[in-house]
Amino acid sequence: MLIAQRCAIQFVTILLFATAALAPARATEPAQDEALAYSIGVQTYINGFPMMDLYRTLWETSFDPKRGHDRTLNEFFAFDRLITSKDDWVITPNNDTIYLRAFLDLRKEPIILVIPPMGDRQYWVPVSDMWHDFDASLSWDTVGARGGAFALCAPGWQGVLPGGVKRVDMGTPIIWTLPRIAVNGDPDLPAAVALQKQFRLVPLSQWGAASVARPRPDAAEFPRFTRAELTDAKAYFTTLNTLLRLSPRLGNPSDDALAGWLRELGMHPFTGFDWNKLSPQARRGLERAAADAHRIIAERMPRLVPIVNNWQLARLDKRISGDPVFAAGAAMLGLLWNPKEISTYDVAFFDGAGAPLDGNNRYVLRFSPPPPVDGFWSVTMYSAENQLFVPNPLDRYSFGDRTKGIVYEKDGALEVILQHAEPTDPKERANWLPAPKGRFYLVTRHYSPRPPILTGDWLPPPITKR
């Protein structure tokens, strides 16, 4: 009797396993309940935000017909002058460098980035994948004065490069770069622009040709995605699915882990995502997820970095995508930022006592010692009202170790005077960084920072009200 019961149980067990093997697995079907879609949506939105906001920048600057731009992919856009208080096209700009910018599509072949001989001119060329992880930092302190030629290669590319061309393997097939060239004021601008014009991007197949044909990318391959659509759930998740195929990372553990969740929503990168195949409940879950995840990133953004003496200290690693919430907050704070090996940033909205900075007051910022750098450093003044430079009688928007006529203390310290009213004392006027009549904030930039800045042995001093 006992043997018969055991046989019956074994038969039922085998039958159940066989039935389960024949039945379609629920995990292969799009999730239809709101709670599960919401949970997956929040994780997916935050994880993908750095790539999505960067792609938004790519589409708006390369393909949006309303912008009137004349540059697409695989070629430089050059900004060949220093920004002034009359410029309102970019917030929190610097007054230290001129720029080149390019998004590159490496799917067909590598693109060779040519840095000309730079002499004693300082330059920084960060090269990043679409997740804002940096694969190269080609600068005057890593490459040197002679420059060079660097083949930027998509993941898995195999081939032979010309002699003298160094290979740089990228994390994704679509990438970006933002070269910066130091300029010491307007008189120095022509020499810097002359070097800027010698930077080149050359497809491998055209290396050695007398001239390089302008690229003609197929705009149909790049779906429309704008700033307004960052909180549009349908546009966000549909475009994300496309980008995971358009510019994948190979063998990335985070992406492999996320793929299982994406499959639950029918959003796996191997397949196209159809929003309309989801149930109303699942769509509602994703709509809630997009709104809440965006809010989570926005609330995390001001608390990304340590705060010392009421300065926010930004020392960003080359690779931060493994910490999705931090990476998303960094992307929302400011795209196309530099890793700490190139430059670091201190940001202050409050004085040392915790009160908002206001140009109607008088402040002193005493650097003792000044920031230790191999490049140079600057403190830049911004109106808190519009995040732009402050018009002033000196046309001085920043103050640093290259500012002409500054006065150091006998002990080597440097006092920066921060106020709206023009100082009457000649020494204070020499060290004056003009402020607006109302609220302002400061950003200190350290180009090629030395170890004490990176280790915390040097910290920014408090801004003291006088």
More confident call, 111 vs 15: 111
Instruction: Say which DSSP state 303 is in.
Output: G
User: Which amino acid would we find at residue 424?
Assistant: T
237 has a pLDDT exceeding 60? yes
The answer to whether residue 21 sits within a structural domain is no
Of the three residues 246, 277, 302, the one that is the final residue of a domain is 302
Report, in angstroms and rounded to the nearest whole number, the Rg of the chain calculated over CA atoms.
27
206 has a pLDDT exceeding 50? yes
Q: How confident is the model at residue 165 (pLDDT cuts 50, 70, 90)?
A: very high
Dihedral of the alpha carbons of 298, 300, 301, 302, in degrees to the nearest 10? 110
What's the pLDDT at 345? 94
Q: Which stretch of 12-16, 56-60, 433-437 has the lowest confidence by average pLDDT? A: 12-16
Nearest CA to 339 out of 114, 128, 78 is that of 128
The answer on 264 and 157 residing in a single domain is no
Nearest CA to 449 out of 361, 338, 358, 350 is that of 338
For residues 35 and 33, give the distance between their C-alpha atoms in angstroms, rounded to a whole number: 6
The answer to whether residue 447 sits within a structural domain is yes
47 has a pLDDT exceeding 90? yes
The answer on 45 and 103 residing in a single domain is no
Q: Give the pair of three-digit tokens for residue 465.
A: 């009200």
End-to-end, the C-alpha distance of the chain in Å comes to 97
What is the chain's mean pLDDT, rounded?
90
12 has a pLDDT exceeding 80? no
18 has a pLDDT exceeding 50? no
11 has a pLDDT exceeding 70? no
The reported pTM is 0.84
Of the three residues 250, 284, 302, the one that is the final residue of a domain is 302
More confident call, 256 vs 382: 382
Q: How confident is the model at residue 30 (pLDDT cuts 50, 70, 90)?
A: low
Q: Give the pair of three-digit tokens for residue 60.
A: 């708006």
The answer to whether residue 421 sits within a structural domain is yes
More confident call, 56 vs 257: 56
Q: Which stretch of 107-116, 337-346, 356-365 has the lowest confidence by average pLDDT? A: 337-346
More confident call, 117 vs 61: 117
Q: Give the pair of three-digit tokens for residue 302.
A: 């001001």
For residues 103 and 30, give the distance between their C-alpha atoms in angstroms, rounded to a whole number: 34
What's the pLDDT at 66? 82
The answer to whether residue 20 sits within a structural domain is no
More confident call, 29 vs 35: 35
What's the pLDDT at 72? 76
The answer on 50 and 154 residing in a single domain is no
The answer on 448 and 336 residing in a single domain is yes
Of the three residues 302, 333, 365, the one that is the final residue of a domain is 302
Domain that holds residue 147: 73-207
What's the pLDDT at 70? 61
- CB of 399 closer than 8 Å to CB of 378: yes
**pLDDT tens digits, one per residue of 184-193:** 999 999 999 9
Q: Cβ-count burial of 448 within 10 angstroms (0-12 exposed, 13-18 middle, 19+ buried)?
A: buried
For residues 37 and 32, give the distance between their C-alpha atoms in angstroms, rounded to a whole number: 7
Cis peptide before 369 (omega within 30 of 0): yes
The answer on 35 and 181 residing in a single domain is no
- CB of 54 closer than 8 Å to CB of 331: yes
For residues 204 and 350, give the distance between their C-alpha atoms in angstroms, rounded to a whole number: 50
Instruction: Say which DSSP state 25 is in.
Output: P
CA angle 282, 285, 286 (to 5 degrees): 90
The answer on 250 and 231 residing in a single domain is yes
Helix (H) or strand (E) holding 97: strand 97-105
The answer on 162 and 250 residing in a single domain is no
Q: Which stretch of 21-25, 62-66, 67-71, 255-259 has the lowest confidence by average pLDDT? A: 21-25
CATH number at residue 144: 2.60.40.1610
Q: Give the pair of three-digit tokens for residue 283.
A: 């769509």
194 has a pLDDT exceeding 70? yes
Q: How far is CA 268 from CA 70, 216, 259, in A?
A: 35, 30, 6
What's the pLDDT at 335? 67
The answer on 141 and 35 residing in a single domain is no
What's the pLDDT at 89? 67
13 has a pLDDT exceeding 90? no
The answer to whether residue 108 sits within a structural domain is yes
What's the pLDDT at 65? 85
The answer on 375 and 344 residing in a single domain is yes
Q: How confident is the model at residue 8 (pLDDT cuts 50, 70, 90)?
A: very low
What's the pLDDT at 25? 40
**pLDDT tens digits, one per residue of 298-316:** 998 878 889 999 999 999 8
Q: How confident is the model at residue 29 (pLDDT cuts 50, 70, 90)?
A: low
Q: How confident is the model at residue 292 (pLDDT cuts 50, 70, 90)?
A: very high
- CB of 178 closer than 8 Å to CB of 100: yes
The answer on 311 and 292 residing in a single domain is no
149 has a pLDDT exceeding 60? yes
Average pLDDT for 284-307:
93
Q: Which stretch of 134-138, 334-338, 437-441 has the lowest confidence by average pLDDT? A: 334-338
Percentage of residues in the chain with pLDDT exceeding 70? 92
* Overall number of domains in the chain: 3
- CB of 449 closer than 8 Å to CB of 340: yes
Nearest CA to 101 out of 113, 118, 88, 117 is that of 113
Average pLDDT for 159-174:
97
The answer on 404 and 321 residing in a single domain is yes
The answer on 175 and 272 residing in a single domain is no
CATH number at residue 435: 2.60.120.600
For residues 391 and 189, give the distance between their C-alpha atoms in angstroms, rounded to a whole number: 21
20 has a pLDDT exceeding 50? no
